[in-house]
Amino acid sequence: MRKNSSFFHLFLSLALLLGQAKPDPDPLQDYCIADTITPGSFYFNGAPCINPKHALPSHFTTSVLSKPGNTKANPFGFNVTLTNTLNLPGLNTLGLTMARVDIAANGLVPPHLHPRASEVTTCLKGLLLVGFVDTSNRVFTQQLRPGESFVFPKSLIHFLYNYDSRAPAVALSGLSSQNPGAQIVSLATFTSNPPIDNEILMKGFQITDRDVARIRKNLGG
Ligand SMILES: *[C@@H]1O[C@H](CO)[C@@H](O)[C@H](O)[C@H]1NC(C)=O
């Protein structure tokens, strides 16, 4: 009897703990096509839906991922093109985002995290070195060839590097939120607005005032 009840308690605590890790809320209808005519007219968790009677196949389709992004627009040599409620209104409330990641030869998607989503990435073209760091500071890395996939757990710092010095790489990612969010670690710390006090960065990274200035400048801050 006692054994049973402690087992029950363990089961209950586990269930409660697991219940804390929630994905985007479940939709209450088949779909909720985002109203793209008046976006941002009021704030809402997600986007308001159009009348389902006006739903069209085109609301569920997009060609944004067919075009490569410009990898020269930043010093790292990458570009991410995302689906969202404006270019793919049919994914509103479904808890999904797709991303096309273009990486120039030896380009890098620098260490970053998505506060609201796990990510599974598939290498479509080129040679990738991907990895993430867990909360015990352990690194998991892998080389990916076309057709191979890797998963980055929610909120953990990860990167994608094109280790081929001659050819560009392309990856396709799926993220488990319609609004995954992204924070690039170097930019968030050194080019925030307003800037983080130099004293904090000097102590935090064990560097000098001059180093802080140089890193800020290199990152375009
Ligand atoms: C990605 O490329 C587009 C143009 O294709 C550009 O407007 C945008 O700034 C680029 N994004 C980054 C992060 O470099």
Distance (angstroms) between ligand 1 centre and the Cα of 208 equals 32
Is the C-alpha dihedral spanning 143, 149, 151, 152 positive or negative? positive
Distance (angstroms) between ligand 1 centre and the Cα of 121 equals 20
SS3 state at 200: helix
Distance (angstroms) between ligand 1 centre and the Cα of 70 equals 5
Q: Is 71 in the pocket of ligand 1 (CB under 6 A)?
A: no
Q: Is 74 in the pocket of ligand 1 (CB under 6 A)?
A: yes
Write out pLDDT tens, residues 17-50. 555 556 677 887 889 899 888 776 666 777 889 9
Give the CA count within 13 Å in the CB-facing half-sphere of 146: 7
Judged on CB neighbours under 10 Å (0-12, 13-18, 19+), 123 is: buried
Question: What is the token pair recorded at 198?
Answer: 């130099």
Write out pLDDT tens, residues 71-106. 999 999 999 999 999 999 999 999 999 999 999 999
Judged on CB neighbours under 10 Å (0-12, 13-18, 19+), 178 is: buried
Q: Is 62 in the pocket of ligand 1 (CB under 6 A)?
A: no
Q: Specify the DSSP class assigned to residue 64.
A: G
Helices and strands of the chain, counted as H and E runs: 4, 10
Domains of the chain by residue range? 52-181, 191-218
Architecture of the domain delimited by 52-181: Sandwich (2.60)
Write out pLDDT tens, residues 180-196. 999 999 999 999 999 99
pLDDT category of residue 65 using cuts at 50, 70 and 90? very high
